[in-house]
Chain A
């Protein structure tokens, strides 16, 4: 299994509170991604990173921010959680080194977030 750990695995929080999800990898891969999974929508990209301090937005980035200060950690922050952010969040890594490589994504086990 790819060495990806997501924490926490489950979280319940109240509307308006900040939330940070952590993704930790032991593979030293350059690319890391945050996706959310919702019924009827499949997996949608929130943000991704192609190196330390190098991040970019995905298709559903509003309301989310990310940080990557170390190769192994990619943090996803909901500054002020809303009920629409209730979802399952998956972190993924890729061994791609850039250019046209497109190595497959390997996913963590997910974080189930409920915003009440």
Chain B
């Protein structure tokens, strides 16, 4: 079975705080991809990052960083020095072989000015 769990339904932080969004996945496939998407209040879904199961290197892009740990089946997303524009719903997704995608239920992040 394929499953993505985002246990944090809602998070609120004060601007400039760091925040980590958790993502835990389940799959029996040995080869798979993981993704993060952002959905701002305007409603569109924006692709942020893709990571394959063979690459456990952490990635940093500006204030965003991702920590992939196969040992704990987690792919966490950290925003450093959060800004109001980071307020959005964030989705983690798993794609094993076959080009199907399984999404978590999302984490709603509110950054308070």
Residues of A whose CB lies within 8 Å of any CB of B are: 31, 33, 35, 40-45, 48, 50, 58, 88, 90, 92, 94, 96, 98, 100-107, 109-110
| 25 contacting pairs across A/B (C-beta < 8 A) | A33-B101, A42-B6, A42-B91, A42-B105, A42-B106, A43-B45, A43-B91, A45-B101, A48-B100, A92-B45, A94-B99, A100-B31, A101-B99, A102-B32, A102-B95, A103-B50, A105-B35, A105-B93, A105-B101, A106-B47, A107-B44, A107-B45, A109-B43, A109-B44, A110-B43
B contact residues around A44 at 8 Å (CB) = 103
**Cα of A76 to Cα of B103 in the assembled complex, Å:** 20
**Nearest-neighbor residue (CB-CB) of B32 within chain A:** A102
Which B residues touch A50, using CB under 8 A? 99
Q: Which residues of B contact A107 (CB under 8 A)?
A: 44-45
- Is B104's beta carbon under 8 Å from chain A? yes
Q: Which residue on B lies nearest to A59, using beta carbons?
A: B102
Select the residue from A35, A58, A100, A101 with max chain B CB neighbours within 10 A: A100
Binding site for A on B (CB under 8 A): 6, 31-33, 35, 43-45, 47, 50, 52, 91, 93, 95, 97, 99-106
Contact check, B99 vs A96: say whether CB atoms are below 8 A apart.
yes
Q: Is the CB of B100 within 8 A of A104?
A: no
Distance between Cα atoms of A41 and B9 in the complex (Å): 11
Chain A interface mostly = strand
Scoring A35, A101, A107 by chain B CB atoms within 10 A of each residue's CB, the highest score goes to A107
What is the bound-complex CA distance between A98 and B47, given in angstroms? Answer: 20
When distances are taken between beta carbons in the complex, the residues of chain B under 8 Å from A102 are 32-33, 50, 52, 95, 97, 99
Q: Which residues of A contact B45 (CB under 8 A)?
A: 43, 90, 92, 105, 107
Partner of A42, one of B43, B97, B99, B104: B104
**Which of B50, B101, B102, B106 has most chain A Cβ within 10 Å?**
B101
Contact pick for B103, options A42, A98, A100, A104, CB 8 Å: A42
In the complex, the 7 A-B pairs of residues with the closest C-beta atoms, listed nearest first: A42-B105, A107-B45, A43-B103, A102-B33, A104-B47, A102-B95, A42-B103
